[in-house]
Structure 1
Amino acid sequence: MSLLSFLLGEKKKSAAVAKERLQIILAHERAGRNASEPDYLPALQRDLVAVISKYIAINPDDIKVHLERQDNLEVLEVKIELPETR
């Protein structure tokens, strides 16, 4: 590790930042489940569209985020339809 990177810190990749944000959102949602809090899925979907749009031209309707709860199990499903490359 160079002295400059130690002093300035290293720039994180956008995928790592997105993963950290998703983990924080999920941990927060698990910790404080109550009906008065707004649903985070629409905001998560907007963030995903913004990040993916930086790299690929994509229609916002091509990203679907769905959370399914069954007993003690939660499944977060993210479906992304990428445009065909030619």
Structure 2
Amino acid sequence: MFGFPRWGKKQDSSASAAKERLQILLAHERTDGTSPDVFPELQRDILAAIKKHMKIEDDSVDIQIERGDNLSNLEINIELPASSKS
């Protein structure tokens, strides 16, 4: 089939794409219980999105997931570089 242009719609930004991926991941986690294989890929995706906007080291991102009975928390800690003043 042919693809039609989406007039009036802007392309998603990297932030909204990352948000959508996280929502899909969390929905998937809630339905199947556990899937730890997804986390390294998720960390790479988050790191790639951040690197588009600032220079950071690969090991400066820490991702933790805490699961409860009715709630899962995704915690992302990023060590940001010190800003250099000219």
The TM-score with structure 2 as length reference comes to 0.79
Q: CA deviation at 1:5?
A: 5.6
Give the aligned CA root-mean-square deviation in angstroms.
2.0
Q: Where does residue 25 of structure 2 map in the other structure?
A: 25
| Deviation beyond 6 Å, 4+ runs, structure 1 | none
Q: Where does residue 6 of structure 1 map in the other structure?
A: 7
* 1:68/1:74 contact within 8 Å kept: yes
Distance in 1, Cα, partners of 2:58 & 2:27: 26
Identify unmatched segments of 5+ residues in structure 1: none
Aligned residues: 80
Identify unmatched segments of 5+ residues in structure 2: none
Output the amino acid matched with 1:42.
Answer: P
The TM-score with structure 1 as length reference comes to 0.79
